[in-house]
Structure 1
Amino acid sequence: MYGDGGWGRQAQEGPRSPYGGQPQHHPQTPQHGDWSQEQQQHGAWSQEHQPGYGDRQHQYHEGPGAEYDQRFAHQTQQQVHQGGWDATGTHGHVPYAADPGDPYGQQPVAYGTQQPDFYPTEDAYPPPVPPGRRQPEPEPEPGAAGEEEHAFFAGGGDEDGEEEHELQSRRERRGKKPVKSRKRRTGCACMVVVLVFGGGLGGVGYFGYKFYQNRFGTAPDYAGDGNGEQVTVEIPKGAGGWEIGQKLKEAGVVESAAAFVSALQANPDGKSLQDGVYTLQKEMSAASAVELMLSPKSRSNLIIAEGLRNTAVYALIDKRLRVPAGTTARVAKKEYKHLGLPAWATDHPNLKDPLEGFLYPSSYAVAKGQKPEAVLRKMVAQASAEYRKLGLEKKAEALGLDSPWQVLTVASLVQAEGTSHDDFRKMAEVVYNRLKTDNPQTYGRLEFDSTYNYVKNQSKIDLSVAELRRYNSPYNTYFAKGLPPGPIDNPGEEALKGSLNPTHDGWYYFISMDGKTSKFTKTLAEHEELVNQWNEARNKN
């Protein structure tokens, strides 16, 4: 409590102060009454004491423990101000007030008594040690410092390890022997880290190599025209070069899509490559695959011609799919409501085939292994799209028809009776003129041979009028007035356009003299004259 040689260098001369040689600061202003009067009455402080005080003050500033002495002197001055001095000039028996900022100062302790130890536990920080009594920190045991300094390799820095490290540091600061840390399995941890980083670097390297190959390297490619093993590949409509290359790669035709794209771009006719079904070979070079696909020899699409009836289309599908004859027709009859027909094409009575007119003439990718339902659905979707594009629903009323279904039926008649694209507009006018119930030529009867042939599923031209009028069928326009219940074939684009834009020249009759072109007349007399000419020419042959 009074200091020693290591705590601060004390003065060799002058009386030892009971306060450890610490400077006593006297306030210049009175705080407990009249300070000068107390001095005079008690004589506690005289000028003869001041030189010694000054000497000690000077010594205080020189000592190595100046910092501690200064704090102690400041504390003493505060006590003087708070507790005061008794009449004898010595410190009274007023205890020190507790410091509210000190968590260990809850009980006041009088000066001169021993401060209780508030650090009995191992977890607490030790009290300050005077500089003269401080000892160098003990050297850590071999292995312990390395393990704690590299906690990551020792087990990932868990909470138990951190707490143990902190407790050990506290013990060392208090001069206790450090506790030996438990052994860590550093080898396994290091191996895991190496594997993780090594695997990451390997993955980055692999993908970097693939990226370089895709962007700058030569694309993998087979050599030659194939290994002789044939394969069928379907290319969807609107597919680009990369998509086509992917499909060929999946089928084993080319080694990479990139090689196919390069070969397609290098071929001058590459842009003319179309969708469809192609018969190719496996392991072909990209250049040979492109060349074969541009050749008609590889194309194996199903072609639906204009004006074909559904019965003929069903037979073609069966043959392409290599299924028993009649399979597609049975599927159509059973599943027609689920194949995508528009609302205006359903629920019509007396139909021979509800799908008639919706197997649109076009080129379709059809190959063995596909289902008839899938092929029919594709054709119906194509027809619906074309009819929507042409505006059948919007133009029906302007043509004097009840619905787009009737427009489609007219187009099927135009397709069946016309012999060339130039005939379609005139043929459409003939239909519309004859449909008028007050027309003076046919009085509402169409009288088309094609409707009778449709019912009979035939294509004859030598038919007597008597035979035609006797056959009772809603499709027989010699027997029933007006349009048949529905289309009689699958009309093409030109027949549809002609039906939507007929001529207005007054045509009622037509005849084909050579089977290639038609002649149109406005009266029955003109028509009968042409019929006689045709009969004479036929008899001569």
Structure 2
Amino acid sequence: MTEYGRGQAPEPWHPNDPLYGDQGWTGQHQVPSQYPQEQQPQQYEQYEQYPHQQQYVQQQHPQQQYPQGQQYQQHPQDQQYYGGQQAYDTQAGHVHAADPYGGGVDPYAAQQPVGYPGGAPDLYSTADAYPPPQPPGRRTPIPDPATEWQQDDQDGPDAADAEDEGRTAEDGGGGAEDDGRDGPHDGGRRSGRGKAGKGKKPKKRRNGVACLFVALVLVGGVGGVGYYGYSFLQDKFGEPADFTGEGTDPVDVEIKAGSSLGAMGRALKEAGVVASVDAFTEAAGAHPKGTAIQPGVYPLRKGMSAAAAVELMTDPSKLNVVTVTEGMRNAAVYAAVDKKLKLKPGTTLEVSKRELKNLGLPAWANNNPKIMDPLEGFLYPARYDLTKDMKPEALLKEMVARAKQKYEELGIEGKAKDLGLESPLQVVTVASMVNAEGMNHDDFRKMAEVVYNRLKPDNVVTNHKIEFDSTINYAKGTSNIHVSRKEAKEFNHPYNTYFNDGLTPGPIGNPGDEALNATLDPDEGGWMFFVSVDGKKTSFTKTYDEHLKLVDEFNARQKNGG
């Protein structure tokens, strides 16, 4: 460092100084610093050049030359300071140092400085030169490394630094005009800070917008946690959400086959019928028939209470479906479709006649002109869900397709001849009679055996006649179980099996699975007659005499009001 470093505190040599790192100058004594010696800068001292171009060259030790950049270690006694032995020459602009041993001559300075013409250039007078150090009276101590300024500089330049470097000397920012030097305008205080000595202001504090943003984030986080916490507790321990009343706007909801109560509740909630799945499952669990809710399309209303929805869905009559039962006649099916679709009575019957060729009947279906209804036996027994805008022709086509598929699965077309029948249509016809006359499924195989035995050519008991009351009732559109023998013998109609030999021209109803299977696999017990004495159980006999005894029992019961 230079002699000007002997102020209240040392001033480090800036790395951008052109003489920084040059050979050590030993002609002057260092001043003891208030800092420990290991913290003192180990830099070479140098003199400045002043306008009179007087040069001060480095003083070298008489016996040793130090290369450039190598530090010079002084003797311990050279580090003593003798007050009053230094004077500042204001006119010459440099410092005279006295001999610390009182002789007036530095023993290590025997070799006098020599100037060389055209020697070292004046490194402080060029345009890019670093300014010379200031006299001791104009210096300020180096900031403590732990201060905010030093910490800020360690973090690197920021927006505030860039702003400060753009300021001018008049702003007090130590900008381009100030160039890091102190001047009279600042009262002896250094305006600069930072690694390069350029003027910078303390780093700006966080503004209010950032604080507000952080506060909002914290408040939002706390609110979100509270909301989800409340929702969790409400779901676990609170009453499930539920509507009240019977609802408002009508809406059809389909419950698919195999749906659990939870799946039903989700379907209803998505349609806006119930408020929550839990409310529906609880209501269904509390209802006696809640676990027996059938799949299908239900005409419900939006905003219904869960209990009201369950009550409606446990009533089969409330289903928006048409159910074709085993043995059901087409006339009853048409009426049910008209009612469910809110059509004028007779509409579906007219559609069945008009659209007959477009409903998908098999080729072997309508081959007898005496058939009363070509669709009889082809509206297969099942439950059919109705959509809001469904048309009768679409529903009839679906029923025919179901029957056709079932008949193909059973293979009735190939088994007809094995059973002694003329066509697959006669298989369906026999099945329809079995379904109409049998009291229950246990009767069906014996009933099929009765039909086949009466159709045999050697049948001399009934003379090839079936003699079923159900055929007369079908022809008349009735369900009378008390058909008199006289009426049966006098009613001339193709469907009267008392009057005509053999089977009816077509089916007399829509047989179900059990009747069809029994028709394809009869009992073969030789049964020829049957009668239901009590109206609950059917009794079968092989001979006519046995049959007459059962008839007498039946008539006696009827007289006694049984």
**TM-score interval for Structure 1 and Structure 2 normalised by the shorter chain:** 0.5 to 0.7
Return the offset for 1:506.
0.7
State how far apart, in whole Å, the 2-side matches of 1:240 and 1:448 are.
43
Aligned to 2:560: 540
**Residue in structure 2 matching 1:296, options 287, 297, 315:** 315
State how far apart, in whole Å, the 2-side matches of 1:399 and 1:526 are.
27
**Residue in structure 1 matching 2:243, options 206, 224, 228:** 224
**Residue in structure 2 matching 1:235, options 254, 261, 264:** 254
Amino-acid identity (%): 49
Matched, 1:503 2:523: yes
Whether the 8 Å contact between 1:321 and 1:367 is mirrored in structure 2 is no
Q: Which amino acid aligns with 1:348?
A: N
State how far apart, in whole Å, the 1-side matches of 2:411 and 2:266 are.
37
Aligned to 2:50: none
State how far apart, in whole Å, the 2-side matches of 1:261 and 1:340 are.
45
User: Where does 1:433-448 land on structure 2 (aligned, <5 Å)?
Assistant: 433-448=453-468
Return the offset for 1:274.
3.8
Residue 373 and residue 239 in structure 1: after superposition, are their counterparts in 2 closer, same or farther (change >3 A)?
farther
Return the offset for 1:224.
2.3
Matched, 1:468 2:468: no
Whether the 8 Å contact between 1:412 and 1:488 is mirrored in structure 2 is yes
User: Where does 1:417-496 land on structure 2 (aligned, <5 Å)?
Assistant: 417-496=437-516
**Residue in structure 2 matching 1:316, options 330, 333, 336:** 336
Cα displacement string for residues 320-365 of structure 1 (whole angstroms, at most 9, x for unaligned residues): 1111111111111211221222222233321100111122222222
Return the offset for 1:300.
4.1
Matched, 1:347 2:354: no
Residue 323 and residue 394 in structure 1: after superposition, are their counterparts in 2 closer, same or farther (change >3 A)?
same
Whether the 8 Å contact between 1:230 and 1:279 is mirrored in structure 2 is no
Cα displacement string for residues 424-450 of structure 1 (whole angstroms, at most 9, x for unaligned residues): 110000000111122232232111111
Whether the 8 Å contact between 1:232 and 1:279 is mirrored in structure 2 is yes
Aligned to 1:405: 425
Task: State the secondary structure of the residue aligned to 1:233.
Answer: strand
Residue 253 and residue 303 in structure 1: after superposition, are their counterparts in 2 closer, same or farther (change >3 A)?
same
Return the offset for 1:370.
2.6
Task: State the secondary structure of the residue aligned to 2:348.
Answer: helix
Residue 275 and residue 340 in structure 1: after superposition, are their counterparts in 2 closer, same or farther (change >3 A)?
farther
Matched, 1:374 2:394: yes
The higher radius of gyration belongs to 2
Aligned to 1:527: 547
State how far apart, in whole Å, the 2-side matches of 1:360 and 1:469 are.
32
Return the offset for 1:246.
8.7
State how far apart, in whole Å, the 1-side matches of 2:266 and 2:398 are.
23
Q: Which amino acid aligns with 1:399?
A: L
User: Where does 1:154-193 land on structure 2 (aligned, <5 Å)?
Assistant: none
Return the offset for 1:485.
0.8
Aligned to 2:21: none
Return the offset for 1:281.
2.3
Return the offset for 1:465.
2.5
State how far apart, in whole Å, the 2-side matches of 1:313 and 1:320 are.
11
State how far apart, in whole Å, the 2-side matches of 1:341 and 1:245 are.
39
Return the offset for 1:532.
1.8
User: What is the TM-score of this pair, normalised by structure 2?
Assistant: 0.50
Residue 323 and residue 525 in structure 1: after superposition, are their counterparts in 2 closer, same or farther (change >3 A)?
same
C-alpha RMSD of matched pairs (Å): 3.6
State how far apart, in whole Å, the 2-side matches of 1:226 and 1:496 are.
47
Task: State the secondary structure of the residue aligned to 1:343.
Answer: coil
Return the offset for 1:225.
4.8
Q: Which amino acid aligns with 2:327?
A: G
Unaligned ranges ≥5, structure 1: 1-212
Runs of 4+ deviating beyond 6 Å = 239-247, 261-272, 287-290
Whether the 8 Å contact between 1:344 and 1:405 is mirrored in structure 2 is yes
Whether the 8 Å contact between 1:272 and 1:294 is mirrored in structure 2 is no
State how far apart, in whole Å, the 2-side matches of 1:263 and 1:533 are.
55
Cα displacement string for residues 220-270 of structure 1 (whole angstroms, at most 9, x for unaligned residues): x97425772152425275586899789757754368xxx769987998899
Q: Which amino acid aligns with 2:254?
A: I
State how far apart, in whole Å, the 2-side matches of 1:267 and 1:529 are.
53
Residue 224 and residue 463 in structure 1: after superposition, are their counterparts in 2 closer, same or farther (change >3 A)?
closer
State how far apart, in whole Å, the 2-side matches of 1:383 and 1:478 are.
29
Cα displacement string for residues 89-146 of structure 1 (whole angstroms, at most 9, x for unaligned residues): xxxxxxxxxxxxxxxxxxxxxxxxxxxxxxxxxxxxxxxxxxxxxxxxxxxxxxxxxx
Q: Which amino acid aligns with 1:527?
A: H
Return the offset for 1:512.
0.9
User: What is the TM-score of this pair, normalised by structure 1?
Assistant: 0.52
Q: Which amino acid aligns with 1:228?
A: G
Whether the 8 Å contact between 2:445 and 2:521 is mirrored in structure 1 is yes
Aligned to 1:280: 300
**Residue in structure 1 matching 2:406, options 377, 380, 386:** 386
Return the offset for 1:484.
0.7
Cα displacement string for residues 164-187 of structure 1 (whole angstroms, at most 9, x for unaligned residues): xxxxxxxxxxxxxxxxxxxxxxxx
Whether the 8 Å contact between 1:435 and 1:446 is mirrored in structure 2 is yes
Q: Which amino acid aligns with 2:553?
A: Q
State how far apart, in whole Å, the 2-side matches of 1:399 and 1:316 are.
35
Residue 392 and residue 243 in structure 1: after superposition, are their counterparts in 2 closer, same or farther (change >3 A)?
farther
Aligned to 2:532: 512
Task: State the secondary structure of the residue aligned to 1:347.
Answer: coil
Whether the 8 Å contact between 1:270 and 1:290 is mirrored in structure 2 is no
Residue 429 and residue 318 in structure 1: after superposition, are their counterparts in 2 closer, same or farther (change >3 A)?
same
Q: Which amino acid aligns with 2:247?
A: G
User: Where does 1:25-424 land on structure 2 (aligned, <5 Å)?
Assistant: 223-225=242-244, 228-235=247-254, 238=257, 251-253=271-273, 274-283=294-303, 291=310, 295-296=314-315, 299-366=319-386, 369-424=389-444
Q: Which amino acid aligns with 1:224?
A: F
Residue 438 and residue 415 in structure 1: after superposition, are their counterparts in 2 closer, same or farther (change >3 A)?
same
State how far apart, in whole Å, the 2-side matches of 1:353 and 1:478 are.
21
Whether the 8 Å contact between 2:252 and 2:300 is mirrored in structure 1 is yes
Whether the 8 Å contact between 1:426 and 1:503 is mirrored in structure 2 is yes
Q: Which amino acid aligns with 1:295?
A: T
Residue 238 and residue 338 in structure 1: after superposition, are their counterparts in 2 closer, same or farther (change >3 A)?
farther
Task: State the secondary structure of the residue aligned to 1:344.
Answer: coil
Whether the 8 Å contact between 1:322 and 1:368 is mirrored in structure 2 is no
State how far apart, in whole Å, the 2-side matches of 1:404 and 1:389 are.
13
State how far apart, in whole Å, the 2-side matches of 1:288 and 1:361 are.
32
